[in-house]
């Protein structure tokens, strides 16, 4: 595997095949709760960073926000661009790079779209880019990450999933603090092999990152209904931060 596994896997049609079951209703429920909590006025500018095919961006635009969705995957962005309108646009962008196409009242990094990179420096660069992409000290960054401690504790080591007639053979393990998901399958006589690698950052690690970058942690939640974060039991680690 190359170190930039995300560049190839997220741009593969098979990625979208495997994860096509993702629930739009739950995504909308989360966005409703988040926008209500943040009290974002109509017309607020929002950057959906690592937007995939744009399901959160499209819904946020329907809530009268001015939304830009960005993702590293050209295939995902090409799909999302069919939904562009006056208050919704999409573009390809690597989240490690400076945000040079606007400044935002809020930046959302959702559905565990962090922790992909090899080095801590890359993650810090990403957070710095996010911070510099915010309009002012009243602007917010929201990172919706998995609760790594619970994920690791309950890790399913092996499983098979059959989707659209393709049998995906999936194995998982933890290596140097990162959760590895190994995905193998065959389609039309050809064998495929992809890996996902996400660092299992816990709240303490994120707090150290925030201190380095100059973010203040405003709130943490443990579920998409915005209940309190519990390190042992919560499914998510949702963090709301502001520049210091």
Provide the angle, in degrees to the nearest 10, between the axes of the packed helices 203-213 and 120-132: 60
Domain boundaries, the chain: 5-146+202-243, 151-197
Element of type H or E holding 16: helix 13-18
Strands 166-175 vs 178-187: parallel, antiparallel or unpaired = antiparallel
pLDDT score of 22: 65
CATH of domain 5-146+202-243: 3.40.50.150
- Predicted confidence at residue 104, as pLDDT, reads 98
Report the chain (244 residues): mean pLDDT per 10 consecutive residues.
64 78 83 97 97 95 98 93 98 96 97 94 97 98 97 95 94 95 94 93 98 98 97 97 98
How many Å apart are CA 127 and CA 125, to the nearest integer? 5
Who's near 207: CB < 8 A, 6+ residues apart?
A: 217
Please tell me the distance from the alpha carbon of residue 161 to that of residue 155, in angstroms, as a whole number: 16
Count other Cβ atoms within 10 Å, centred on residue 104.
Answer: 24
Write the pLDDT tens digit of every residue in 59-113.
999 999 999 999 999 999 999 999 999 999 999 999 999 999 999 999 999 999 9
Which pLDDT score is estimated for 1? 37
pLDDT of residue 13: 82
Give pTM, 2 decimals.
Answer: 0.92
Question: How far is the C-alpha of 178 from the C-alpha of 146, rounded, in Å?
Answer: 13
CA distances from 200 to 99, 190, 234, 243 (A): 26, 32, 15, 24
What is each CA distance from 211 to 107, 135, 215, in whole angstroms?
18, 19, 6
Calpha distance 164→43 (Å, rounded): 40
Question: What pLDDT, on the 0 to 100 scale, is given for residue 137?
Answer: 96
- CA gap 26, 30 in Å, rounded: 6
Tokens of residue 126, six digits: 């990403």
């Amino acid at each position: 595997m190359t170190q930039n596994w995300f560049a190839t896997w997220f741009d593969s049609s098979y990625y979208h095949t495997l994860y096509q079951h993702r629930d739009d209703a739950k995504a909308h429920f989360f966005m409703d709760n988040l926008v209500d909590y943040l009290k974002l006025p109509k017309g607020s500018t929002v950057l959906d960073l690592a937007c995939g095919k744009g399901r959160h961006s499209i819904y946020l635009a329907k809530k009268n926000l001015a939304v830009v969705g960005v993702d590293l995957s050209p295939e995902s962005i090409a799909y999302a661009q069919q939904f562009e309108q006056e208050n919704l646009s999409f573009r390809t962008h690597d989240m490690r790079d400076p945000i040079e196409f606007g400044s935002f009242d809020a930046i959302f990094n959702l559905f565990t779209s962090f922790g992909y990179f090899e080095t801590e420096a890359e993650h810090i660069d990403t957070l710095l880019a996010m911070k510099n992409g915010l309009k002012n000290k009243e602007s917010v960054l929201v990172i919706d990450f998995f609760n790594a401690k619970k994920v690791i504790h309950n890790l399913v080591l092996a499983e098979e999933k059959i989707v659209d007639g393709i049998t995906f053979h999936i194995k998982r393990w933890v290596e140097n603090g990162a959760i590895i998901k190994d995905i193998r399958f065959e389609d039309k006589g050809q064998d495929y092999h992809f890996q996902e690698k996400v660092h299992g950052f816990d709240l303490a690690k994120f707090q150290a990152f925030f201190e380095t970058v100059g973010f203040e942690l405003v709130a943490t939640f443990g579920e998409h209904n915005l209940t309190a974060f519990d390190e042992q039991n919560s499914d998510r680690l949702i963090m709301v931060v502001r520049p210091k």
